[in-house]
Amino acid sequence: MARDEQLKERWAGVQKKLSDQFADGELMELDAIIYLIGVQELGKPHKRYKKDHKIDLMHIAICTLLEPYGYYEFDFYDDDGWPHFKIKEELPTLKAGEQTVLMKEAIVQYFMEKEYIS
């Protein structure tokens, strides 16, 4: 199976499974899935977050997702338990479509490593 087709299939699987589990089957978009990963990584899923913290949660997710690609490295947890990352390598300039593919690929890989999907 071609790499693009495999990614498409796996992404659809992740999207459906998460949508069924967290959105009553309403298809979750990329940003919502990134937000969920941030909440998962912070480890405080039952808390309500304000807008600023939601942006921070998405940042945590993006750093976590791109860490295996060598762009970020975990640095430390602050006094409130929030993880902080440092930039190892600047992200290349990507077109919007290329960014989306990179994030979908990273999300699929993340959920495979967590054994949420196979």
Tokens 């699987």 correspond to 13
18-22, 25-29, 36-40, 47-51: lowest mean pLDDT where? 47-51
Q: Is the pLDDT of residue 66 over 90?
A: yes
Question: What pLDDT does residue 44 have?
Answer: 86
pLDDT digits (tens, 9 = 90+) for 77-90: 999 999 999 999 99
Q: What mean pLDDT comes out for the span 38-58? A: 91
pLDDT of amino acid 3: 78
Q: What does the pLDDT average to over 1-13?
A: 88
**Rounded mean pLDDT, 104-113:** 96
Q: Is 48 left (phi over 0), alpha (psi -120 to 50) or beta?
A: beta
Domain boundaries, the chain: 1-114
At residue 1 the predicted structure's pLDDT band, cuts being 50, 70 and 90, is low
What is the per-residue DSSP string for 56-70?
A: HHHHHHHHHHHGGGT
Portion of the chain with pLDDT greater than 70, in percent: 99
What are the tokens at 24? 């009553």
Q: What is the mean pLDDT of residues 7-21?
A: 95
Axis crossing angle, helix 96-113 with helix 3-22, rounded to the nearest 10: 70
